[in-house]
Structure 1
Amino acid sequence: MRLNRRRFIGTGVAASATLAAPMVMGQARPRVIVVGGGAGGATAARYIAKDSQGAVDVTLVEPTRTYYTCFFSNLYIGGFRELGSIAHSYGTLASEYGVNVVHDWVVGVDRDAKTVALAGGGALPYDRLVLSPGIDFVDGAVPGWDVSAQNAMPHAYKGGSQTELLKAQIEAMPEGGTYVMVAPPNPFRCPPGPYERISMVAHKLKAENPTAKIIIADPKANFSKQGLFEEGWQKHYSGMITRIGPDFGGENVTVDPAAMTVDIDGEIVKADVCNVIPAQKAGRICEIAGITEGNWAPVDGHTMQSRVDENIHVLGDATNQGDMPKSGFSANSQAKVAATAVRAALTGSRAFPAKFSNTCWSLINAEDGVKVGATYEATDEKIVKVDGFISQTGEDADLRRATYQESLGWYSGITSDMFG
């Protein structure tokens, strides 16, 4: 099915349809604070504001004024997108939907008083709190690396300046140089993402630095779309990419940012560019709020409510929700379910059974697109996969081109769905 902007936005209608209860004259509007303005948070803020028709006061707290999507950032690295094409503002959420957009950091959550504290001072009260902070990195996950080393060895797993930096480093590689990626362990944001990045780096190097080498140190035995990526790498970039899995030391890696070296199970590799993607966890505000168990925030899939505090909903990459991958599409889908649940709780509107979907597209080479996806539903235990699909090896060029074009329609649709 070809997924264009109109069709994509329409997929959220059933999940978000409600009958908003009329406001009582003189009654204070219930207050919703949304923390994080990405695929989950921006979508939730827009849908709560839009579909409550003014019955709910919605505030979105997001520190950045321009949001760069992590999804499609690999295409910028590969030369298929301009940076501005993945940059988005919050102006329409404010002007057309009445969302109060506050550019600040939330540094505290008082669950008893139901307030959030801002880095700039003051506190905001809430009746419901929606947390969609994305990921942070597990301290010490890659020995020798921490965020103070991210300029020398960028992660580029949060969109924006890190993405620009990694691309600039690749462009400055010496002829015949070496790019090393330290891949993350499961679970992590966008399971195919590191391997699409390898494809895009290879595409760029093949055109600009064809004798360069790419090494992947990977702690995982298998990875998403593995057969599709390996087929594509052999077809388009034969001899350029070497992946070292756990059987050959890929899980025993130490880096030295000052020396620009990577120790892979005792073998020292000199890197011209080193892209370290560490193990991940829920964004820090989830820990501050006290709603995490281990590295992630457990939620009830029916409503995306925290299993620790029913007045808090958690979306996207930060959650431990079951079978859904951590992706922009997943976060957007979960946001619509949460928006329905929040409006039902605060205005008495009707809520429908939770249903979810996800598709992850990846570009291997020019117009060589592949995808994987599934539909999901909520049970009392978790969100469970109902059915799924994946591109097949050996597909013809026309189908791969159509898959890539479908991804472009999806990007246009989801960003419109997020930001209006």
Structure 2
Amino acid sequence: MNRRNFNKLLASSFALSFAACSSVTSMTSTLPKDKKRVVIVGGGFGGATAAKYMKRYSPETEVILIEQNKEYYTCPFGNTVIAGLNDLDYIKHDYKTLEKKYNITVIHEKVAKVDGESHTVILENGDIIPYHKAIVSPGIDFKYEKGYIEGSEIYSPHAYKAGAQTQLLREQLKGMKDGGTYVMVAPANPFRCPPGPYERISLVAYYLKNNKPNSKIIILDQKNKFSKQGLFQEGWEKLYGDMIEWRSAEFGGAVSFVDPIKKELTTEDGIIKADVLNYIPSQKAGKLAFDSGLTEGDWCPVNKKTFESKIVKDVHVIGDAAIATSMPKSGFSANSQAKIAVLQISRMLKNKPVVNPPKLANTCYSLVAPNYGISVAAVYEAKEDIIEKVAGSGGLSPMNADEGVRATEAEYAVGWYKNQTTDIFQ
């Protein structure tokens, strides 16, 4: 995929996103007199869930969801698109059901800032929407460094925001010669979906084994261990032999410089040349969080029981951008956090005590192959200023399980995705 085609695909994901009707925003330019208003910014796993469940918990509340794109591509199951197991439409969702079925006002505009002092959301087109409570789910942005600058993704995609990047990496993988080298740079902690890079490697290996079996995969990791490591490496050895080479940061994985155009990486062991370079940068909260004064360091500190910002009153931050240790930054975590946040907000708006302590959950399935799944799950409890895993809850898939167990978990993974997206967008 060349630059022109990439830009066309990227532009299509934003098509008409700035065409929200002025009549809609004029209707929302003042607070309603007879009810409360909650404005939600961001329509991903966190924001879309918050909009739907705010209406469920508090039907009388006016809910406004602001998301600049009319279509949302999920990162979960994006790796199946890269490997050619599904097409891009499989991970595409829209907001029509939320708008029509749940009476949620959906505005497709870009937000410039959430102004906590004036209790308003300011759009880039100049419109101002006041709120009683705001929920911000700004996702992630990237730390451009070591030669990987903004725009580098055209040549060496990260594909860690789904859509155009997903399709680009798919096209590059298809175009790679048999006997070529696919190199991934896996980011330092913390980052979105800790098992995500390693599921991607697994499914890329599945594609290469079946289409370009003389190829090689190198993972240059910016850390010394990774999520579900034993399970992944067991699967790699069993299914793909010596095709995959993982290098930890301590032993040759640390990258000091990258040339994204030439697809060359400098490490302590010298320069590594890739035919396809999947460079996943280290991450931070989305730009809106910084512009709205919600960050401390790279992420957003929140009250763990309500997800209200510790910096800006009446603004709640959920999803990848929030500091919610020890919950991983995942789609399921965002979904769980959204439900707790709106439950607490619905009580706060009625001057009722918040639920104490709230329980949260995370479940994450990973495909090592289409019929080989692994998982991790946990239940969490929000205490004073920390979210802790409930002792004895959840756990990992067993090591050395038979093919039937792995196949069943792969089926569960598909069911998990369908159930999650239905829960959020339907």
In the alignment, the residues of structure 2 paired with residue 174 and residue 381 of structure 1 have an alpha-carbon distance, to the nearest angstrom, of 52
- What amino acid maps onto 1:41 in structure 2? G
Paired position in structure 2 for 1:383: 387
Equivalent positions of 1:23-34 (< 5 A) are 27-34=33-40
In the alignment, the residues of structure 1 paired with residue 320 and residue 396 of structure 2 have an alpha-carbon distance, to the nearest angstrom, of 22
Paired position in structure 2 for 1:366: 370
In the alignment, the residues of structure 1 paired with residue 199 and residue 261 of structure 2 have an alpha-carbon distance, to the nearest angstrom, of 28
In the alignment, the residues of structure 2 paired with residue 59 and residue 196 of structure 1 have an alpha-carbon distance, to the nearest angstrom, of 35
Q: Deviations over 1:275-316 (max 9, x none)?
A: 111110111111111111110001111111111123011111
In the alignment, the residues of structure 2 paired with residue 57 and residue 272 of structure 1 have an alpha-carbon distance, to the nearest angstrom, of 51
Paired position in structure 2 for 1:99: 104
The SS at the match of 1:320 is: coil
Shift of 1:400: 1.0
The answer to whether the 8 A contact 2:55-2:63 is kept is: yes
The question of 1:56 aligning with 2:61 is answered: yes
Shift of 1:349: 6.1
Shift of 1:271: 1.1
Q: Deviations over 1:214-253 (max 9, x none)?
A: 1111111110011111111111111211111122231233
Q: Deviations over 1:33-70 (max 9, x none)?
A: 111101100000111123312x1111111111111100
Which is bigger in relative contact order (C-alpha 8 A, separation at least 6)? 1
Q: What are structure 1's unaligned runs of at least 5 residues?
A: 1-25
In the alignment, the residues of structure 1 paired with residue 385 and residue 345 of structure 2 have an alpha-carbon distance, to the nearest angstrom, of 20
The answer to whether the 8 A contact 1:176-1:213 is kept is: yes
| TM-score using structure 1 length | 0.91
The question of 1:240 aligning with 2:243 is answered: yes
Paired position in structure 1 for 2:126: 121
In the alignment, the residues of structure 1 paired with residue 394 and residue 303 of structure 2 have an alpha-carbon distance, to the nearest angstrom, of 22
Shift of 1:84: 1.2
Equivalent positions of 1:305-324 (< 5 A) are 305-324=308-327
Larger mean CA deviation between 262-271 and 150-159 belongs to 262-271
Shift of 1:351: 4.6
Shift of 1:266: 4.9
- What amino acid maps onto 1:172 in structure 2? G
In the alignment, the residues of structure 1 paired with residue 293 and residue 343 of structure 2 have an alpha-carbon distance, to the nearest angstrom, of 24
Paired position in structure 2 for 1:15: none
Shift of 1:76: 1.5
Shift of 1:348: 4.5
The question of 1:67 aligning with 2:67 is answered: no
Paired position in structure 2 for 1:270: 273
The answer to whether the 8 A contact 1:217-1:253 is kept is: no
The answer to whether the 8 A contact 1:300-1:321 is kept is: no
Q: Deviations over 1:82-114 (max 9, x none)?
A: 221111010001001111111111112221111
Work out which of the residue numbers 137, 141, 144 in structure 2 matches 1:132.
Answer: 137
Of all paired residues, the percent bearing the same amino acid is 46
Paired position in structure 1 for 2:117: 112
Shift of 1:409: 1.6
Paired position in structure 1 for 2:335: 332
The answer to whether the 8 A contact 1:132-1:318 is kept is: yes
The question of 1:38 aligning with 2:49 is answered: no
Provide the alpha-carbon RMSD of the alignment. 1.4
